[in-house]
Amino acid sequence: MPGIVHPVLNIPGEHQITALFEQIRGTRLEIPVLLAVIVPARRSEICGLSLDDLHGDILHIHRAMVYGAGNQLILKDYPKTDKSNREILLPQYVADLIRERGVICDYTPGGLSRAFTYLLHKCGMDHCRLHDLRHSFVSIAHAQHMPDAYIQERGGWSTDFVMKNVYRHTFDDVRTAEQQKINQAFVSLIPKDKKSPPDAHTDNRG
What digits encode the pLDDT tens for the residues 119-140? Answer: 999 999 999 999 999 999 998 8
The total domain count for the chain is: 1
Which letter, b or e, does each residue of 103-130 get, where b requires 16 or more Cβ atoms within 10 Å of its Cβ? Answer: ebbebebeebeebbeebbeeeeeeebbb
List alpha helices for 83-131, DSSP H. Answer: 92-101, 109-123
Q: Whole domain around residue 131: which residue ranges?
A: 14-187
Q: Which CATH number does the domain housing residue 19 bear?
A: 1.10.443.10
Residue 9 resides in a domain: no
> Where does the pLDDT of residue 166 fall: very low under 50, low under 70, confident under 90, or very high at 90 and above?
low
Residue 197 resides in a domain: no
- Over residues 35-89, the pLDDT tens digits come to 999 999 999 999 999 999 999 999 999 999 999 999 999 999 988 888 899 999 9
Residue 205 resides in a domain: no
pLDDT at 30 over 70: yes
Q: 58-61 and 64-67: which strand pairing?
A: unpaired
Residue 134 resides in a domain: yes
Residue 8 resides in a domain: no
Q: Residue 72: which residues within 8 A CB-CB, separation 6 or more?
A: none
pLDDT at 200 over 80: no
> Where does the pLDDT of residue 194 fall: very low under 50, low under 70, confident under 90, or very high at 90 and above?
low
Task: Give SS3 for 59.
Answer: strand
DSSP annotation of 123 reads: H
Residue 57 resides in a domain: yes
Handedness of CA 124, 21, 79, 143 (dihedral sign): positive
Q: How many degrees, rounded to 5, is the angle at CA 83 between CA 78 and CA 89?
A: 95
Residue 192 resides in a domain: no
Indicate the residue type of 86: R
pTM: 0.81
